[in-house]
Amino acid sequence: MRERILGALYGMALGDAMGMPSELWSRRKIREFFGGRITDFLDSPSENPAAIGLKRGEFTDDTAQALVIIDSLIENNYVPDRKVIAKNLIAWALKTDAFDKNILGQSSKAALRAIQDNMDPEIYTVKAVTNGAAMRIAPIGCLFPSAEKEKLAEYVFHISEVTHKTDVAIAGAAMIAAAVSSAIEDKSWEDIINNVFSIYPIAMKFGHETYSASLAARLELALSLADKYRGNEPGFTQSIYDLIGTTTMTSEAVPAAIAMAYFNREPKECSISCANLGGDTDTIGAMAVAICGAKYGVKNFDSYLIKTLNESNKIDFLPYAESLLQHRRKNH
């Protein structure tokens, strides 16, 4: 279990860092700028305003916010507290100049700014349909057995509501968490997908109603594309880009990420595939490769990838994994 939790954390960082240089660029622009295909960690191009100043192997706000969430839970004995999470997210944003450097997503920025100004952030959180809740949720899947879907969905809501409070944002985050929860138990890919579908209607009830496209219907289509294009990665990723979408909207990014994990399965291959997908490459990569990493286990990662992520981010994921594992064992 420890190896799989570490796999989820390193997978999240790997997909995030590999997709960082191409973040929010089209497939065409990625091909033209990088001379075909990204195949390794790269510095962020000065031409890409979404990822300015990051060096090869560095992860972005997706993984950084996920770690802030874990720190906030550790601080409060794993009881999600909106004020603690908000305080720590704001402290991280100020430390990294995230408000001014185009690092924060629109929904998170608006909600955290409101909290800073002693305003009620709900005017923003009940309209937040972007993927900010889902991008940072993967570690939460490590805390619950896959059978405890009601508890997981409610916990995801309390983690996410500081910035995202809509049905689609909560459900999307819960689907990613459910995939990780199932993967660290080494469930089959069929069971992982079934658990993702089954948490969807449960989690939808926690959020403010929107008229977003159905995540379940989008995912069903995305998985059918994965089966249709099995063995044809370019055909599959083009179909995801064209038919599912790869923007920052939860209704696109979450089905795309789960399908990318289902199609690629191996963490490094998935990270490279996501980096070249086009669109929100770092976020889709963080979500997808967290699932692959949880299923794969950290021992099966290429040691070069682990070494680069550790050195580039000056991070040690082991204490985080130990804390998540201890809480899981204590409560289950």
Q: How far is it, in rounded angstroms, from Cα 16 to Cα 274?
A: 9
- Report DSSP letters for 202-238, one per residue: HHHTTSBP--PPPHHHHHHHHHHHHHHTTT-HHHHHH
Return the SS3 of 25. Answer: strand
- Per-residue confidence (pLDDT) for residue 53, from 0 to 100: 86
28-43 CB burial, b ≥16 within 10 A, e <16: eebbeebeeebeebbe
Q: Residue 282, annotated ligand binder?
A: yes
Distance from the first to the final alpha carbon of the chain:
13
- Per-residue confidence (pLDDT) for residue 331, from 0 to 100: 83
Distance of CA 70 to the CA centre of its chain: 14
Q: What is the largest CA-CA distance in the chain?
A: 53
- Per-residue confidence (pLDDT) for residue 50, from 0 to 100: 87
Residue ranges making up the domain that contains 13: 2-39+46-331
215-228 helix and 250-264 helix, angle to the nearest 10 degrees: 30
Other Cβ atoms closer than 10 A to 177: 30
Q: How far is it, in rounded angstroms, from Cα 23 to Cα 231?
A: 25
- Per-residue confidence (pLDDT) for residue 282, from 0 to 100: 98
Q: Element (H or E) spanning 174, and its range?
A: helix 167-183
CB-side neighbour CA atoms (13 Å) of 329: 9
- Per-residue confidence (pLDDT) for residue 102, from 0 to 100: 76
What phi and psi, each to the nearest 5 degrees, are found at residue 279? 90, -140
Q: Residue 61, annotated ligand binder?
A: yes
Low-confidence residues of the chain, pLDDT below 50?
none
Q: Residue 280, annotated ligand binder?
A: yes
Q: How far is it, in rounded angstroms, from Cα 43 to Cα 49?
A: 13
Residues linked to residue 249 through DSSP beta bridges, in sequence order: 130
Residue 222's CATH number: 1.10.4080.10
CB 262 within 8 A of CB 236: no
Other Cβ atoms closer than 10 A to 134: 31
- Per-residue confidence (pLDDT) for residue 128, from 0 to 100: 97
If one counts the domains in the chain, the total is 1
Q: How far is it, in rounded angstroms, from Cα 293 to Cα 6?
A: 8
* pTM for the model: 0.98
